[in-house]
Amino acid sequence: MTLLQATAISKRFGGLMALSEVDFTVAPGEFVAVIGPNGAGKSTFLNVLTGLTLPSAGNVQFDGRDITRAPTHGRIRAGLGRTFQHGRLFSRLSVLENVMTGAAIRTDRSESQLREASLGMLDRMGLADEAKRPIDSLSYGQRRMVELCRALACGPRVLLLDEPAAGLNSGEVELLMARLIALRAEHELAVVLIEHNMGMVMRLAERILVLNFGCRIAEGTPAKVQSDPAVLSAYLGEGYNNARD
């Protein structure tokens, strides 16, 4: 079964072809990574999937329904959650209030239900004691976790993460991976991960899509991708496998 499907996605910005006929699928509960060098089109691709950018050609389907032109809030309500490469938290709100803005997309809940759900999510992420603190008083790693909480608070079926490990130290990366593994098992959540931390990608992803100059150059299991000559040449480097040994 396919939950999220992108078919022949192309995106042109003036004379720049940012994406060229990219196909992509995600099954329920699957963990998929999208990797490639800077400028490969990864964030643009996530923007197309989540409705922040309309494709120049191609279509996006979610749970069998065409959402190519659907607004972002409609996609969130349908079950697409997302974090961003650069944080977009509300600095004037508390940790709890930030998470509640994500939960509020579910209009079928009362304010007390939103608060309870948001506190529960913070507790599962180890941030319950920080609920009343202003965002600006948290460490960078804690703010990244709050972003993840906010994305999860809307109850997604597919969670799209844009470089969640960027700026985190090794201990914080390990904690992030542990949280993602636990949350995925608990919620039967599908995850799409854009990330430059190859250790994280190779440990978590079941399948990897590789983009370069907006084109798909490889797709497959981590073992297959990390030995693909095109991927080694364009992104990982010819010495990648030797460095791992």
What does the pLDDT look like over 176-192, one tens digit per residue? 999 899 888 887 899 99
- Average pLDDT on 103-113 reads 76
Instruction: To the nearest 10°, report the CA torsion of 23, 27, 31, 37.
Output: 10
Whole-structure pTM value: 0.89
Average pLDDT, the chain: 90
- Region for residue 29 given its phi and psi (left: phi exceeds 0; alpha: psi -120 to 50; beta: otherwise): left
> What fold is seen in the domain 4-79+156-244?
Rossmann fold (3.40.50)
- At 34-82, the pLDDT tens digits run 999 999 999 999 999 999 999 999 999 999 999 999 999 889 888 999 9
Degrees to nearest 5, angle at CA 38 with 37 and 39: 110
Q: Which two tokens stand for residue 107?
A: 């209009």
Residue 66 has phi, psi (to 5 degrees) of -75, 120
How do the domains of the chain map onto residue ranges?
4-79+156-244, 89-155
Q: At residue 231, does pLDDT exceed 60?
A: yes
List CB contacts of 166: < 8 A, sequence separation 6 or more.
Answer: 85, 196
